[in-house]
Structure 1
Amino acid sequence: MVTASKGMADVYRLTNRTDSAFRYYSLYHQHQDTLTAQINRGKLSAINAKIAFDDAQSNLEKANNVISNQKQTRNFILAGIVLLTIIALLFYNRKMLQQKHLAEETARKQRLVEQEAERAKTQISSFRANIIEKDNLIQRLQQQINVENEQVNKSLLNYTLITDTEWEKFRLEFFMAYPLFLPALQEKIPAINPAEERLATLLYLKLSTNQIANTLGISKDSVGRSKRRLKQRLNLSTEDLLEEYLSKLV
C-alpha cells in the first residue's frame, strides 16, 4: 500500500493532476507512518521479548543455582547423617564390647570368689569335722583312762587344737567362707577382742561347749563365763540364746 500510493502520487504529479497527486501523497505518508509505527512496535516487542527472554534465562540460571545449592546442601546433610550414623555405630559397638568385657570380667571374678568361698567352706567343714572327731577321741580316751591318772586326764583337758598361727589361718578361711559374719560381729562389738572372736566363730559353727573348751584349751566353766560376757557385750537378755543370735546375725 505504501508503494502503490507512492506510485499513484508520482503518476498524478507527472500528469499535472495536482489534487490527486496530493491526495495519494497524503495516503502514502499515512501508510508510511502506519508502517513505521508498526515497525517500531515490532522492534519494541522484540526488545521486550528479548528482555523477557533474558529475565527468564537469568531466572532459570538462578533456579539452577538454587537447585544446585540445594542438592549440594542435601548431599552435605546426607553425608553428615551417614558419618554420624557410622560414628554412632562405632561408639555403640565399642560400648557394647566394653560392657561385654566388663560383664565377662565381673563373672570371672564372681566365679573366683565363689570358688574361694566354696573352698573355704570345705576347709571350715573339714576343720569342724576334725574338731568333732578329736573331741570324740578325747571323750573315748577319757572313758578308757584310769580316772586316778590325773596327769593324763589333765593333758586331755588341756588338749589345744588352735594355736595363734592356726587361729590366724582358721580366721582367714572362716572369713572367706562366711565373709559377712565377722564384719557384722565387729559392727555389734566395735572393740571386740580376739578371744571373743574365737568364741563367736566356734559358736557360729554350732560346736558344743565341751568341743569349744578342748579346741581353745580352756575348761568348760571358762567357756560358760566367756559366753556370758559375750552376751553382755551384745546386750542380750538372760532369756536370749547366744548361739541362736549369732546364727541369725547375717
Structure 2
Amino acid sequence: MNVQLCIVALLLFRAQLLSAPINRVHFQQLSDGEQFTYADAYLTKHWFDFYDSIQRPAKRPAMLAEYNFMKAEAKGPRAATLMRVFWCRNQQFVDLYVRKQAQGVIDSLVSIRTYAHQHNLLAEEGICWLAWCKVIIEHPGKMDERTRRILVYDGAIRGMSLLQNLPLSVIHQYHGATYDIIHHIWWMSMYFFKIQEYDLARRVAALGNQWAHPQLDTKEGHPYGYNYYKWQFLNDLGSCHLRLGKLKEAAYWYQKAYTFGLSYGSSVHSSVSYGNLGVVLSRQGKHAAAIPYLKKAIEAVRRGNDRQSEFNAMVPLSEIYLKLKQYDKAYPALLRSMALYDSVRAFVDQTDSLDIIPLFTGLGEVYQHRGDLQKALYYTQLANRLEEKQRKNDDASIFHQKQEKLEAEAYRSKLNQIDADRDYAVWLRNASITGLVLVLLISSVYLSYQRKRRREAEQQLAFITQEARTRTEQLAQLQQLREATAKSATDENLPHIAELMELAILTEADWERFRELFEQVYPNYLLRLRQKYTLLTPAETRIICLSRLALSTREMADMLGISADTIVKTRYRIRKKTNLPEGADLGEAFADV
C-alpha cells in the first residue's frame, strides 16, 4: 500500500513539474542525456499546446520562449537533435497539411539525419529516415510513382537497419511525441502491406510488437496509445502470415490479438481479430466452424459502426455460404457486401478492393441457382473481365516490383558507396590532421631534446673549461709555493725538505721520522697548528703538513699509502672545520700559522 502511495505521489509530482514552466536553473545543470529526458517529457506533455500556438498568437510567445531556451542551453548532440526534430514535426508539418508544401520538411529531415549520422546517433538517424519516407509517400510532389517507391523502399530499409539492432532500453527512450517511434514503425508496416511486401511488413510489425510499451500513453490528447498500436501489430502479424500462406502462424497471432483486445475492453478490436480467426478456419477448410467467428465479428463491428471491418468479415462469410451451397444465406450476405463496398471504397486499399471480384462471381452463381440466367451471365462475365484485367495488372505489377527492387538495391548500393566514400574522405582528412599533429609533436619533442642536449653540452664544456682554469691556477700557485718554499728554506734545510718529500708515511715510526724533519724545517709549526685548530685529527694534520711542502694529490696519496679520493675528502673536511672557502689551497692557507 505504501509503495502504491509513493508511486501515485511521484506521478503527481511529475505531472505538476511538467505542467509548470521549465526550471531553467535545473535544466542548465543537467547533462546531455538528462536534458534529453527532461525536454522529451516536457515536449510530449505540451505537444498540442505548441501545435495550437501556431493558430493562437497570444499563446505563442510564451511557448516559443520555453523552446528557444531549451534549444540554446542544449549541451550535447542528443538534446540538440531532439529540439530540431520537435520543431520539424510539430511546427513545420503545418506546411504539409495546411499549405501542402513538403520540400521544406524534407530538407529539414535530411539535414537532421545528416547531423545525427555525423554524431553516431543511430536511433535519431533511423527515425528520421522513416519520417522522411512517410513524407515522401504522402506528399510526392512532382515525383513519379516509380521513383517514389524506389526511394521509400531504400529509405525504409536503411532506417530499419539502424533501429533493429538497438536494445529495448534505448528504443524505449524514443516513445515520446517528438520521435514517436512506434507510430513510424506501424506506418511503415502498413505501407509494406499495401504494396504487397508481406515479408517486410511482417518483419516491421514484429519489431513494433516487441517495442510497444505502455509509456506510449504519455502523449496527452492523442487518439492512439499503447493498446491501439499493440493490438494493430498483433493483428497485422496475423494478416501478414495469412497472405504468406502460413495459416498456423496466422491463427496464433490473431488469437493473441483477440486476447489482448479483450484485456482492455475493446469489443471492436477483439471482434475483428475473432473474425480473422474465422477466415483462417475457412482457409483450412473448416467452413462450418468459421461461420460463428465471422458472425460474431460482424455483429460487434456493426454496433461500433465500423463499415470497413464489417465489409472485411462479410466477404469471407459470403464465400463460405457459397461453398456450403447455402444460397439463401449467401444472397443477402453478398448484397450487404456490395452495399458496404460502395460506402467504403474510398477508404479501402487497392489490394483489398480485389474482393469485389468474388462478390460478382458469387452473385452469378446465386442467380444461376435461382434460374435467372441473364443476371447470372452478366455478373459472371463482369467477374471474368475484372479477373482477366487483374491478372494482367498482377503480372505487370510483379514485373515492375521485381524491377523496382533491383533498382532500389542498385540505388542503395550507390548510396552506400557514396556514404563509404564520404566516410573515407572524413577518415582521410582526420588521419591527415592527426598525422600532421603527430609530426609537429614529434618535431617539437625532438627540438626540445636537442636544445636540452645542447644546454647540457654547453654546461659540461663550461664546467670543463672552469675546471681546467682552476687546475691551471692551482698548478701556478703550487709552483709559486715551491719557489717560495725553496727561497724561504735555508741551505741547511734543503736536504731535509728533499728527504721529507721522499719519505713514505705508512707507519707511526714513519710519521715520527717525518715530524722530526718537518720541525727542523718549520720549528714549532705543529704546536702552533694544534693550538689554533684544536679540532683537527692526526690524519688532517698530516695532510696540512704535506700541503706545506706543495705536494700534489697523487704524491700525497703515494706517501700515505691511501687513495687520491681520500686526500680530496680530507681536504674538504679541513676546509669545513677551518671555514676556508671551497678550492682554497691548504699550503698557502696554513703558511702563516
* TM-score of the two chains, using structure 1 as the length reference: 0.46
RCO greater where, 1 or 2, for CA within 8 Å and sep 6 or more? Answer: 1
**TM-score when scaled to structure 2?**
0.21
Larger radius of gyration: 1
